[in-house]
Each structure stands twice: as C-alpha cells, then as structure tokens.
Structure 1
C-alpha cells in the first residue's frame, strides 16, 4: 500500500512539484478551542515551538497582535494563521487590555483536544475558533519556515470561493456542541491552513524565490519532485540532470542558484529528513539503512547524525 511519504503517481499525471509539496503538508492537531467572549477580553497564546496557531472569527470582531506586526482586525469569516509558533495576543480592542493565558483559563472539555472557553465582560460578544497544529513531514518544516509572521484569508476578499464555504461550515459547526464536532472542526481547520498557505504561494512575490520558487521551475522542479518521491534512489548529479532534461553543468548551476545549496547536499539532507519521519512512524534503523543503500546500520547512523544533529535512536524514541 502506498504511503503519504511516497504519493502515488501515474504516467499520465503532469508533474506538479508544488502541488505534491502541499500534499505532504500534513498536520497533527494539538488542541482546538471554541471561545465565547464578552468585551473587554484578551487571550494570550504562549509560544509553542514547531507549531502553528490559527484563529477564525465566527461572530463579532477581534484584534490579533503578533510581535513584529501591527495589530490586525479580524472580522466574521476572516481566518488567520500564526505559522512560526510565536507567542501572541488576540483581544477585543486594538490597544492592550488585561489578558489571560489560554492554557490556564477555565475551560469545558469535550475531548482530549477540544474545549469551550467562556471569558470576558458584559460588552460586545465575539465567538472564535482557535487551534494549535503541528506539522509532521520535512516538507512542512521547510515550507512553514518561509512563511510570513501572519497569513490571513479575508472573508471580504474578492471571490473567496471555496475558502468561504469551508469557513461557513466551520462557523456552523462551532455554534453548538454536537457529536463528532471535534473531528469535523479539526479536519476543516487542516483544510483552511493549507488554503491559507496556498493563497500565499499564489499571491506573494516572496513565494516565487528560494525553495518554493525552485519547485515551480519547470526543470529544477521536476528533479526536486523525483527526489521527494523517491529519496532512497542512488541519485547522482547526472541522473538528476536527466530528470530535469538539462546538461549536468547547467543543472548543477541552476539548482544551486534557485535552491541555495548544491543538489547532492540537498539529496542527502532530504533523505535523512525523510528517514527521521519514517523513524517517528515506527521504522527501524536496519530497514532505513537498507532502503537508503548503506552497507551497515552504523554507517547510516553516522550519516543521519551528521545531517540532522540527532541519533536515529533518539528520533525514534521521540515519535
């Protein structure tokens, strides 16, 4: 059975390296919270390394304040992602008000990862759905690192299309507690986070440079897609250049220019980052050493630690 780490491809399917990267943008929900708030109110989101937070306004208004960015007004149907695990505040006013840390505020739990929080005064009402998600594939970490400090999808944006429909489904689900509500909200949130990232890729000039820009290059992108699909293959500069239908020297120069590192160094790092994901999923060192073409587990372990800074055993135990 094919795994998500090696998505199925077919001979008649066009190569879409960026689309495949977004396919691998798999999230693991840490916590989701529906908040019913009355002004004045303020919620402090602590920093969570390696995670992203999101907020969508079901009703009312809220101000999102992320360090390094101006406070941002969120209206009903707006969806915002804070992708870098930064601590931040969301509140009823543009200027500071007393805040409470969300992880210490009294909440009514409806599951291990879903709660209802009621907080604030007797003023204007606001309902939010917020969450924290972790990304669990090397593609995710690389892509998320390139994102700005805030991503926002505005309900009032021209032709919001499918995004507005998903937000409407989330708002409807958040209005009342029903069986399966946690499952529905978490899956809708995953879709919205991917949509926000896709919107950034399509609209921000910064997404046309670096690794994301290289994925969209018609030649280097093909070579990247081949490595991402099959990191275990014995890639060489020659075989990668063949994937890109370029000469070896032209490919080497173009790859380094677009990606920011030589092709074979990228292959080595990608191979070990993929191995790290497989270790967390339960693969053994022996399996990965054989799959990656190493003659011994010790040789694989040395290469793995050189690239990732951790031993295979410690990564496997952390999974």
Structure 2
C-alpha cells in the first residue's frame, strides 16, 4: 500500500453514523465538542459554518465538501447572527441513515458521516490537519459529487442495505477529501511531504521495508538526491529527520502488533532490531510506555469496551 493508505488502515477508520439534514427558512444549529471526524457535503443550497477558535466563518455552496477533524465546537446556519439551537433537539434521537428536517426542510441539504478513529496512530494524521478542511465545488471533485449523490440516493431511497452502502461511501469520501485537500494546500508533516515526488519516494521505501537498516544515504538514493540535500529537504517538509520518521513508523507498526498479541521478541526481529532490549528502549523513548504495558493497556481497554457493549445489549 502507499503511505496514506498505510496510515488510514492503521487508524481502523469506521463510519459510525451516516445521515444529514434538510433545512428551510432561517435556522442555526450549535454542536458541542465531539470525538470524531465529521465529513459532509452541501448537496443543495448554501449555508455558513463557524468552527470555534478558527477565525472567519466559511460560506458553503452547493457541491462544497467540508471536513472537521479536530472535534471542536461549531455552528452551521443559514444566518450566523441567529442564536443557535441545541443540536440535540433535532438529531439526538435520529436513526442511522436519517435525513432530519429543519423547518419542514427545503432549500439546503447536507449529507455525510461521522468517523471514529481507534489507536494512537490517529494523532499521527489528525495533528497535521486544520480544524476545518473546505473542498470547494470548483475543485476537481467529480468523485466526491458522485459519492454524495449516491449516498443521498441510498439514504432517502430506503432500499435494503442502504445504510451499509452509505457507510462504505462515507469512508471513500474521507479519503478523497484528504486527497483534494493535499492537492491544493501546503504544510509541514509527512502527509504534505507525499506531494513531493522525491521525499515521497523515501517515505514509500520506509513503509515498504520498515525492517531494513536504512541510513540517510540509502534513503537519499531512493529519493534520487545527494545525502545533504535530501536530509535538509526531508526535515523541511516532514519537520523531523528521516531516521526519526523511520523510528516513529516502526513504533506504530510495533504498537499494532503488540495489540494483536505478538511476542515482543518476534516484533523486535521483524522490525530490524538486533535485540529485544534495543527494541524495548526505542519503544519506551518514542511512546513513553513499555511494550508490555502498551499491550496490557490495550487488552484492558478492549475488555472494558466489550463489557460496555454487553451491558447495553
């Protein structure tokens, strides 16, 4: 897989709610802080959105997509000068896949999904993203428009399996929105570095062979650059050295394998460490936790979550 696919697959991305709303007249809804990524599109009409602590509000037009990856409180409205109503009034008891109607619904339609992310790998991605990602309709977003049109059809057509199809579409929308955002924006971090062909080649090599004994020189060769130029370019774009990135990626891989119950000695060898001791030291330095404690913590949290689901059923 490519690096973006690698990281997203490690996030254990899942859509835990799809749906939306139709609104008519004057309206304003306020949403609290939340632990999820929201990804929606305005499929009809236009409205405003204001995310707390991000400066100027954003005007959303038909065909625009927006993603809220940080979980900050926000308001969405026909007119932001209106006092916002609490979201619970309309959405708290809505069923999965429902398209809620505000003021009888007419004029504005917003559809999308909420995504839950699991694991410490989430921070690796989300820390690089702004509080709001706005993909404008004039962007090359034919795939997004098709996906949201199909989602609307599935959610409003009430066909068998419609919610499941909408969930799969929501995951695709999340990836495509990231692609379009990276295409038209710049920043610092591995995610933005993927748009640089030479540095991306080195990152891909690390992901392809994480156990290899990489050096700055061999990674520079993958990038087709001199050692000094590559090291400077990598740090400029990724904001850390090539070998630091390699270590962080190895520890993310190690964390997943620990969660799956693999022996520490097996993981250390698979990731290129000469000894279990060297691996333990690296893991503790990067994560602040020992491999054994990481595995135990994951097992305990999983048991608590499972117990909670049993009690609710």
- For the 8 Å contact 1:105–1:117, the answer to whether it is kept is no
Spell out the pairing of 1:195-234 with structure 2 (5 A cutoff): 195-204=176-185, 206-207=186-187, 210-234=189-213
Aligned to 2:237: 258
Spell out the pairing of 1:151-170 with structure 2 (5 A cutoff): 151-155=133-137, 157=138, 160-170=141-151
**Residue deviations 1:93-127 (CA, integer Å, cap 9, x gap):** 23233322349944243xxxx24264543574544
Could you tell me how far 1:258 is from its partner in structure 2? 3.3
- For the 8 Å contact 1:151–1:200, the answer to whether it is kept is yes
Q: Secondary structure at the match of 2:157?
A: coil
- Evaluate the alpha carbon distance shift between residue 142 and residue 103 of structure 1 in structure 2; reply closer, same or farther with a 3 A threshold: farther
1:101 pairs with 2:87? yes
Aligned to 1:73: 59
Aligned to 2:48: 63
Could you tell me how far 1:80 is from its partner in structure 2? 1.1
Q: Count how many residue pairs are aligned between Structure 1 and Structure 2.
A: 293
Whole-Å separation in 1 of the counterparts to 2:211 and 2:112: 39
**Residue deviations 1:31-55 (CA, integer Å, cap 9, x gap):** 2233344545443333234x32122
| Structure 1, unpaired ranges of 5+ | 1-6, 8-19
Could you tell me how far 1:161 is from its partner in structure 2? 2.7
Spell out the pairing of 1:61-210 with structure 2 (5 A cutoff): 61-67=46-52, 68-102=54-88, 105-109=91-95, 114-116=96-98, 118=100, 120-122=102-104, 124=106, 126-135=108-117, 141-155=123-137, 157=138, 160-204=141-185, 206-207=186-187, 210=189
Whole-Å separation in 2 of the counterparts to 1:80 and 1:69: 16
Could you tell me how far 1:22 is from its partner in structure 2? 3.2
Q: Secondary structure at the match of 2:116?
A: strand
Could you tell me how far 1:140 is from its partner in structure 2? 6.2
Q: Secondary structure at the match of 1:219?
A: helix
1:305 pairs with 2:288? no
- For the 8 Å contact 1:289–1:296, the answer to whether it is kept is yes
Which structure: greater helix fraction?
A: 2
Whole-Å separation in 1 of the counterparts to 2:119 and 2:286: 16
Aligned to 1:293: 272
- Evaluate the alpha carbon distance shift between residue 218 and residue 120 of structure 1 in structure 2; reply closer, same or farther with a 3 A threshold: closer
1:241 pairs with 2:220? yes
- Evaluate the alpha carbon distance shift between residue 64 and residue 197 of structure 1 in structure 2; reply closer, same or farther with a 3 A threshold: same
- Evaluate the alpha carbon distance shift between residue 106 and residue 74 of structure 1 in structure 2; reply closer, same or farther with a 3 A threshold: same
| Structure 2, unpaired ranges of 5+ | 303-313
Aligned to 1:21: 3
Whole-Å separation in 2 of the counterparts to 1:60 and 1:66: 20
Query: Which of 18, 38, 58 is residue 53 of structure 1 equivalent to?
Result: 38
C-alpha RMSD over aligned residues: 3.2
- Evaluate the alpha carbon distance shift between residue 105 and residue 218 of structure 1 in structure 2; reply closer, same or farther with a 3 A threshold: closer
Whole-Å separation in 2 of the counterparts to 1:215 and 1:281: 29
- For the 8 Å contact 1:40–1:97, the answer to whether it is kept is no
- For the 8 Å contact 1:282–1:316, the answer to whether it is kept is no
